[in-house]
Structure 1
Amino acid sequence: MRTTSLRLLGAIDMTREGRQIHLGPARERECFGALVVRRGTPVMVEQLIADLWGDAAPDSAVNVIHTYISRLRRRIGGDGEDGLMRSLRPGYTIDPASVSLDVEDFERDRRTGLAALWTGDLDQARHSLEAALGHWTGTTALHGATGPLAVQERRRLDELHLDTLETAMALRLREGTRRDTLAELSTLVRKHPFRERLWILLMLGLAGADRRGEALIAYHDLRALLKEDLGIGPSQRAQHLFYDLLSDRPGDELWTEHLTLTVRQR
């Protein structure tokens, strides 16, 4: 059983047998994070320099990397202790077989949830997607890391996180609208104002809570935002929902017509 856990879904972190391992200052943690992202493959010093600084690397970058690695090895243990960080001269690697990683756990549960979704097992889909979200310890991946690799990996993971959250929220609405779900959706549309799927979920949630007037106001807010900032109108799906809300269609029909499509929207 692997007792060393690595985390990138939040701050870069490591625990061994339940005890947190101090990874050092921000840049040293980011160096460790780069090795984790590229786990299982030899990472040359030149690659680590590119990952941490890109074209803005200092003249002393090679020496700085060696210093980072030396300090990290003392903190986490290297070849002589558990083989977590291995030297492959002139590079280094993290052995993926010796650790558990939250990114892998998140992606595994996400795949399970999406597979269940497409087979029609919506209860299993929600369970697995909620489990996937539970692996996140922060609102953004590799929090605080600023190098090119961290920015690229953060963009990928944060997009997967938001997509997973949207689908899980649609499944929550299927079971009934709750105030905390509506509050979270209201926060998310402010944070990600151009993601129409979030607006559609907010409109459906408000309608499900007998707040159709507010759902219609949300549509007008979306339309004004898109018009002012992008010069476009809402999608046909959002327009269709708006007209159905105006016609006062029954809630079960709204679920069949709109929420099911929103759950399965990829």
Structure 2
Amino acid sequence: MLIDALWGDEPPAAAGTALNALISKVRASVEPGTITGRTHLGLVLPEPVIVDVEMAMAAVHAAESAISRGDWRAAWAPALSAHFVARRGFLPEADAAWSEVWRRRLAEVDLRALECYATACLEMGGTELAGAERAARQLIEQAPLRETAHLLLMRTLVARGNVAEALAQYERLRVLLRDELGVSPSPGLREAWAGLLR
């Protein structure tokens, strides 16, 4: 299984020997942790063990929970932590199928974290509005069809006194959705746009 994960369909001629050499190098590099076993390998690390991907997933969950309670300050830090971890990506040099699954999961964590961070900053207002705008714009760049991102940006622009820019953002989204999917913005977005016009 390890040979398949490392070399896929094209393992080296002496795959077992190459794997043993690689494991020996890894054993030296993970100290003070240890790799146990010969046929079934395990990694034992000294406590405390922090796995950044797990930390990002827990942090974004904490941020989303705080957002659902309306506790903007409690959402701010975990959302930002999850974003900082998730934006690094997952093992960019690995091209195995399992690594692509984790890459997609981490990319989704990043989108959720940006949305939480933008929401928290928007609701806190004041000097945090600039952070809300940056996060909403980054969210749109990464997921152009995510309507909640466009709504966050529109609301932030209005909070910063840029109503005309918010209307222009709605128009960009309307055209994008029409051209890409042949649909109109959701009722919530249309309602926000109508409110701006009033």
Structure 2 unpaired stretches of 5+? none
Measure the CA separation in 1 of the matches of 2:137 and 2:178.
20
Per-residue CA deviation, residues 122-143 of structure 1 (Å, 9 max, x unaligned), is 3222233234334x17442323
Alpha-carbon distance change, 158 to 97 in structure 1, aligned in 2, over 3 angstroms? farther
Q: Kindly tell me: are residues 137 and 196 of structure 1, through their superposed partners in 2, closer, same or farther at Cα, counting changes over 3 Å?
A: closer
The equivalent residue for 1:90 is 39
The aligned counterpart of 1:170 is: 119
Compute the displacement of 1:59 (Å): 5.2
| Within-5 A mapping of 1:150-189 | 150-176=99-125, 178-189=129-140
| TM-score, scaled to structure 1 | 0.64
Please say if 1:108 is aligned against 2:58: yes
User: Alpha-carbon deviation of 1:96?
Assistant: 5.8
Name the structure with the higher strand share. Answer: 1
User: Using the alignment, how far apart are the partners of 1:193 and 1:171 within structure 2?
Assistant: 21
Of 182, 185, 197, 1:231 maps to 182
Q: 1:146-170 CA distances to partner (integer Å, 9 max, x unpaired)?
A: 2211111110111012112111111
Q: Which of 243, 246, 256 in structure 1 is aligned with 2:194?
A: 243
Distance 1:191 1:131 in 2: 18
What is the identity, as a one-letter code, of the residue corresponding to 2:73? D
Change (3 A) 1:201 1:102: same
Is residue 74 of structure 1 aligned with residue 28 of structure 2?
yes
The answer to which structure has the higher helix fraction is 2
User: What is the one-letter code of the residue matched to 1:58?
Assistant: P
Q: Shift of the alpha carbon at 1:211?
A: 0.9
Q: 1:99-143: per-residue Cα shift (whole Å, max 9, x none)?
A: 321123223333333333333433222233234334x17442323
Amino acid at match of 1:86: T
Q: 1:217 deviation in Å?
A: 0.9
Tell me by how many angstroms 1:64 deviates.
3.6
Higher relative contact order (CA 8 A, sep 6+): 1
Aligned residues: 194
TM-score (norm: length of structure 2): 0.83
1:191-228 CA distances to partner (integer Å, 9 max, x unpaired)?
Answer: 32111111111111111111111111111111111111
Tell me, yes or no, if structure 1 residue 58 matches structure 2 residue 11.
Answer: yes
Misfit runs of 4+, over 4 Å: none
Query: Alpha carbons of 1:221 and 1:120: their partners in 2 closer, same or farther (altered >3 Å)?
Result: closer
2:155 alignment partner AA: L
2:79 corresponds to 1:129: yes
Q: Among residues 139, 145, 154, which one is paired with 2:94 in the alignment?
A: 145
> What is the distance in 1 between the residues matched to 2:65 and 2:139?
25
2:72 is the alignment partner of 1:119: no
Q: How far apart in 1 are the matches of 2:41 and 2:185?
A: 50
- The alpha-carbon distance between structure 1 residues 117 and 192, as it changes in their structure 2 partners (threshold 3 A), is closer
Which residue in the other structure is 1:37 paired with? none
Q: Do 1:203 and 1:219's aligned partners in 2 also have CA atoms closer than 8 Å?
A: yes
- 2-side partners of 1:168 and 1:237: how far apart? 21
